[in-house]
A and B are shown apart, each in its own frame.
Chain A
Amino acid sequence: MSRILLAASLALALQLLPADGVAQEPKAVPSRLQAGIDAAARGDTVQALAILDDLLEADPRLAEAHFQRAKIYASLASGRATQFQERALAESALEQAIKQDPRNPLYLLAMGKLMLMQQVRVDARRIFQRALTEAARADAATLAEVHYQLGLFHETQWVRFKDRHMLPMGRDQFDTDMAFYDARWAWNFLTDSPYPGSDQGDAERSSMLDHYRAALSVHPSHRGASTHLMAYLHDEGLYEQLLDVAHAFVGAAQSDPLAYLGLGLGHYRKGSMEEAAGAFHYALTLMSTEERRQFEGIGRILSKDGEARYTGLSPDQRLEYERRFWSVSDPLMLTAANEFWLEYMARMAYVDFRFGIEEYKLRGWQTDRGDIYLRYGPPVKRAAFGAAAIRTADMSALGKVTTGWSYGPDGPGFGFRQNPGFRNARFADDFAFYSEDFRSVQPARFESPTLPERLPLPVQVVRFRGPEGRMDVEVHAALPMAALGEGVPVAESTVERGVFVQDQQAREVERIVGEEIVRFREADGRRVESWRLSLQPDGRYIVGVEAREPLTWRAAVGRATVDPKLFALGELSISDILLADVVQPLDTLPASRTDFRIVPNPEMVFRPDQGVNLYFELYNLLPDDDQFASYEVELAITVEEIEREGPGVLQALAELADKWGFTKEGTSPAELRFQKQQRVVAQDILPEYFNVQLPGAPRGRYGLSLTVRDQNAGTEATTTRTFHIRPAGDGEGS
């Protein structure tokens, strides 16, 4: 009995509770609603929906709860035409919200956006216009958002037109299968497809701009309106206007990284590198840790294997990897800015502005087009072909817009597809596979507006034994003065030049820069510059030599890799061979490098009648009891590649063997040997030199192998070198 009484009491109490709840509604509802909103913001949509459903069960007229439910379902919805369940739920919830509060511009705006997702464009536009009317009475942020959405609406239309081409005569479609297999076919197709003119879609463009500007006039810090307007201005090459918008954005939203990215993008395209670098760096400091990690992550511009290795690193290791990556890929160490890093940042900013879709939380670099743009920059040719032009037999293309991007007749070329009116385009057919495949060939391609031309600068690096266990490295470079001075309009110009050494960790360990006033008209076509550097032989180095003419921005860049070479104490060893145009002893018994006049040949290219001069040093020859060193030098010249066409190469070589008159040994007709024996007063360093005449030698690549045998110690050491023979006047000689 008591149990029955207890149950009855509980039931009564529970029945009374809702009445209490209703009585407390003015306070409880906002806090419960906020709890639901907070749960959604945390990503806990299940809890958020449960809270909102509870609220609506208690009061189905609660418009804001309907609206929040709709927002959650809309955020779960994808842009795919076939995935409509969440969109339908969102629409239903929004209808309820609008029913309860028909003049709320935010609800109307959300409904318009949802309709856009569902491609109900006419109704979407009508609802946006209604939202605009209601928003005129609302706050500036809401009004700006409505203008922005209307701008997006028109932008989507305009983007469909701006790249639209007509199919070439006799073609019924842009065949992505053909484009996939033949990049040249794709290039020719895009070249042959007539462009009706830039006026198409002009009305949409005009409306788009009006709405973006209207949004910014009432709410200057509006991200979407600012970034989309900047993307448009970038596409049109209107960089002054882009900078203007970016300045206004920065002024209105001083802690928004997108504003500074826009500023950096504008400065970069205008060629103001230092300002661009400053803006980009500042933008990074304003980003959240995760956003910054995504922004600075370079996995997407590495090969697939490289990306796998990179993503497997710890956060600290990744930072170090990025630092090394950019250090090594700096195209011009002479300048303060890393032009390729700036290009990367500019591309990241642009793809985010142009291809990012905020409502799907899709950043630009996460889209297929963004990925390709990021790696290869803007396509040389691009064309979109309307859905109607696609043959129905190609079911994957049915009703979709196909866009072709080509980077040249030799590729790469890419195809994308999208539903008309959708903002995201995906790789067409097998282009996702092609993209990954091409990535293994060329992960990325960078260029910079301030590097119009990078001329080759030949560098010969020669390792000698240095003091205290160090390695001395001679760097001989041929500065292409004639090419650098081409088009220079002044009699005298200040040429900047320098040598740079990075260690294995890509840290700069040596930097020698200077300026020199050059009279190009009087200067030789080529100037040989030399440096001697002392390095620790504990890792691989990258040596760079650069020269830049600052009036025409022409630059010459040479790079060489230097492996460590240990010259062990007490052991016979040889320096590298220094190849020179002239090696002339200044003393009858030269004892060191300074006893020679040497004119290096940085290109390591000789004419057949020129003679190849070699200088090298022998270390630690063992003296005999009379303090004399006895050694034998054997020089083998191997033909590695003959750069001429037709048969009879071996015969030609055999003839050469006679012509050259050396002691010929060995069985290969493509190898010649020369020997020399010496007995000299022993010394710590013994400089040696040869002059080898190769009359009539055909154009080609030759190998030098130098072996020294210490006859007192019975040891030997070998070093090798490669050089080229090119007849005079063929344009590639020294």
Chain B
Amino acid sequence: MLLALLVLGAPAQLDAQQGWRKWVFAAAGAVLIGAPASIAEEQDDMFCGTRPCMISAGAALGATVGFLLGRELDAKQSREDAVGPRLRLDARAVQLEFAPTGLALHDGGAVAIGTQGLARVDLGGGLHPLGGDIRGVTAVAAFPDRGALLAATPAGIFAFQLDGGGEGRQLLPHSAGVLAALGPAALLLGRGPVWQRLRLSGQGAGVTLEEVASVEAGEGVAVAAAHAAYAGTVWTLTGTRLTARTETSLAELGTLTLPARGRSLSLDGGRALIAAGGDGLFLADVSRPEAPRLIAQLRGVDFAFDAVLVGDQAYVAAGGLGLLVVDITDPVQPQITGVARELGFVADVERGSDGRLWALDREGARVHVVEPRPGSPGS
């Protein structure tokens, strides 16, 4: 039974008990080393050569080694539990063929950005390579209605067919840090401190771009953008500046300066969640675009790579810690309600229109399509 526990892992009831491993491992160690001693031949000419002595010594040694090993595992479990309760989410993994660096969602799937190439992952889990050996992709935006994918690289912005067929085409000779689809016919492009709205026409790799509006955001570099279609606004994150802009002319409506630089931006229900790396998360009230205000800075996460806001839940891509579910009902005292470690090194998280989450496991080179079950840790 002890061996079964060691090999198969503990049942949830036992796992809930802190510090069981050291005792189980000590017992297992005592049996594993003490048992062979019971059938060993007695050695009269050596110290502790009698069978009782050998059994006792072997069992003591095994118990000590097992105890130390188990204690180490208990400590690890305890550290993991200190972050938050374990959460097992139903997830389907899609193995990528390259080391991924980012993920961009669209209706019908996601596009994984890699150090060498791109791949489209469809809703059924199918993997479709895109973009050949393209390197240095900084951002992508998909336009399913036009069957087009736009990718920004240091060599320019390129269009590809979303289904992976045919060859791509260069649209613009410069790079971009942010590409965001504003509906089927408009692209928001962030490059350095400049934001541009571009009109999109055509199909597949044959799409063309035409500038509609362009603004300079002052200091900082374009980091992220989010579209609040219901309000006719876009929110841009440029360094530490979170700015509301009109959807059409990109005219500034209001700005909030954050305490630190952000990495990603997610909107939901009049609030914005900004992942800020080592500075944790910022929660802002953006219900009034002309007067955004900071509600709280949420700490307790070593490094927030990315985050998605869904009602009062924040899903945080926390790297090696996995995917964290944070309850922000009380934003001043956020609670980590679950930690999904099985998802690997989560460096990016996105929410699909169907409510499913897409998490990128950078070290395991996988995309997980996750069914979220907010507020129900464990299973």
Contact = CB atoms under 8 A, between A and B. Distances in A.
A244 B136 contact: no
Nearest to A491: B167
Given A203-B79, A247-B261, A494 B170 contact: yes
Interface stretch (A82-90, A252-260, A549-557): A549-557
Contact of A551 (B79, B158, B319): B158
B155 A488 contact: no
Contact of B76 (A203, A241, A489): A203
B169 A491 contact: yes
Contact of A553 (B72, B135, B261, B263): B135
Contact of A489 (B72, B132, B302, B319): B132
B135 A240 contact: no
Nearest to B135: A553
A490 B206 CA distance: 12
Interface string A96-125: 000000000000000000000000000000
A552 B135 contact: yes
Contacts of B153: 550-551
A714 interface: no
Contacts of A248: 278
A202 interface: yes
Contacts, number: 78
Given A203-B75, A244-B277, A550-B155, A490 B168 contact: yes
Contact of A209 (B72, B169, B302, B305): B302
Nearest to A549: B155
Nearest to B319: A238
B132 A245 contact: no
Interface string B128-163: 001111111000000000000000011110101000
Given A202-B79, A489-B168, A552 B133 contact: yes
Nearest to B72: A203
Contacts of B76: 199, 202-203
A487 interface: yes
Q: Which of B133, B169, B303 has the most CB of A within 10 A?
A: B133
Contacts of A241: 277-278, 303, 319
Interface residues of A, number: 31
B170 A487 contact: no
B351 to A, nearest CB: 21
A10 to B, nearest CB: 69
Interface residues of B, number: 30
Contacts of A552: 132-135
Nearest to A203: B75
Interface in B105-141: 116, 130-136
Interface string A550-582: 111110000000000000000000000000000
Contacts of B261: 247
Contacts of B155: 494, 550-551
Contact of A206 (B79, B156, B170): B79
Interface string A468-488: 000000000000000000111
A21 interface: no
A486 B130 CA distance: 14
Contact of A490 (B79, B158, B319): B158
B170 to A, nearest CB: 6
B136 A553 contact: yes
Contacts of A491: 167-169
A245 B75 CA distance: 27
A235 interface: no
Contacts of A550: 153-155
Contacts of B134: 489, 551-552
Nearest to A201: B72
A271 interface: yes
Contacts of B277: 240-241, 244
Given A203-B72, A551-B158, A487 B168 contact: no
A16 B29 CA distance: 76
A554 B132 CA distance: 13
Contact of A488 (B132, B154, B302, B305): B132
Contacts of B305: 240
A492 B278 contact: no
Contact of B167 (A206, A490, A494): A490
A535 B156 CA distance: 37
Interface in A241-272: 241, 244-245, 247-248, 271
A651 B295 CA distance: 91
Interface in B291-339: 302-303, 305, 319
Interface string A184-226: 0000000000000001101100100100010000000000000
Contacts of B133: 486-489, 551-552, 554
A209 B79 CA distance: 13
A278 interface: no
Nearest to B82: A206
Nearest to B279: A244
B155 to A, nearest CB: 4
A279 B305 CA distance: 24
A695 interface: no
A490 B169 contact: yes
Interface string A515-546: 00000010000000000000000000000000
Nearest to B263: A240
A276 to B, nearest CB: 14
Nearest to B164: A489
A449 to B, nearest CB: 9
A452 interface: yes
A481 to B, nearest CB: 15
A244 B303 contact: yes
Nearest to A488: B132
Contacts of A487: 132-133
Contacts of B263: 240
B136 A271 contact: yes
A240 B264 CA distance: 13
Contacts of B75: 202-203
Interface in B199-213: none
A494 B156 CA distance: 10
B61 to A, nearest CB: 14
Contacts of A245: 278
A554 B135 CA distance: 10
B135 A492 contact: no
B281 to A, nearest CB: 14
Contact of B131 (A247, A489, A493, A553): A489
Nearest to A521: B167
A244 B278 contact: yes
A487 B131 CA distance: 8
A578 B153 CA distance: 41
Contacts of B158: 489-490, 551
B133 to A, nearest CB: 3
Contacts of B168: 489-491
Contacts of A554: 133
A271 B131 CA distance: 19
Interface in A487-514: 487-494
Contacts of B135: 452, 551-553
Nearest to B151: A489
A492 B170 contact: yes
A494 B116 CA distance: 19
Contacts of A203: 72, 75-76, 79
B142 to A, nearest CB: 16
A452 B115 CA distance: 11
A490 B156 CA distance: 12
Contacts of B154: 550
State the 10 A-B residue pairs at the shortest beta-carbon distance, nearest first. Answer: A487-B133, A489-B132, A550-B155, A490-B168, A491-B167, A244-B277, A552-B133, A487-B132, A489-B131, A244-B278
16 contacts: A203-B72, A240-B263, A240-B303, A244-B277, A271-B136, A452-B116, A452-B135, A489-B158, A489-B160, A491-B168, A491-B169, A492-B169, A494-B155, A550-B155, A551-B133, A553-B136
Interface of A: 199-200, 202-203, 206, 209, 213, 238, 240-241, 244-245, 247-248, 271, 452, 486-494, 521, 550-554
